Amino acid sequence: MKADTLRGHLDALLLAVLDGRKLHGYAIIEALQLRSDGALDLPTGTVYPALRRLERAGWLASEWDVVSGRKRRTYRLTRSGEQALAAERAEWREFTSVIGGVLGT
């Protein structure tokens, strides 16, 4: 997959993978790999800043865990994050419908 095609959809992916569960950054990357059959392999330098950005936006909340001596920052969706996810899903449907319509399914 071309690199830039992801642009504008990263937030949706991160919110979706956190829907209904709490995960730390590294586990988020693995979960995205798993859910996409290996197609999505996001670098840490992409994911960690994005998570902090989403937290600043109020869509995620985080807390530090220490599991077997390792620090983990665990993220979860806030209420407004859930709303944002719903909005992102709606936008995704509109986006695919518009582009798909032009490309001719």
Partner DNA sequence: GGCTACACATAGACTGCCTACATGTAGCAA
Partner DNA sequence: TTGCTACATGTAGGCAGTCTATGTGTAGCC
| Interface contacts to DNA, rule CB under 7 A | 3-4, 6-11, 24-27, 42-46, 48-52, 67-74
For the stretch 8-47, what's the b/e string if a residue is b when 16 or more beta carbons lie within 10 angstroms of its beta carbon?
A: eebbbbbbbbbeeeebbbeebbebbeeeeeeebebeeeeb
Nearer to DNA, 71 or 101 (CB): 71
Q: Which does 83 bind (CB under 5 to 8 A by kind): DNA, its own copies, none?
A: none
Nearest alpha carbon to residue 28 among 7, 5, 3, 47: 47
Residue 61 binds which one of DNA, its own copies, none, with CB within 5 to 8 A depending on kind?
Answer: none
Based on the shown chain and the rule CB under 8 A, indicate whether residue 98 belongs to the binding site for its own copies: yes
Residue numbers 69-88 binding its own copies by CB under 8 A: 88
* 44 vs 97, beta carbon nearer its own copies: 97
- Residue 56's binding partner among its own copies, DNA, none (Cβ under 5 to 8 angstroms by kind) is none
Q: Which amino acid is at 59?
A: W
Residue 32 interacting entry, from its own copies, DNA, none, C-beta within 5 to 8 Å by type = its own copies
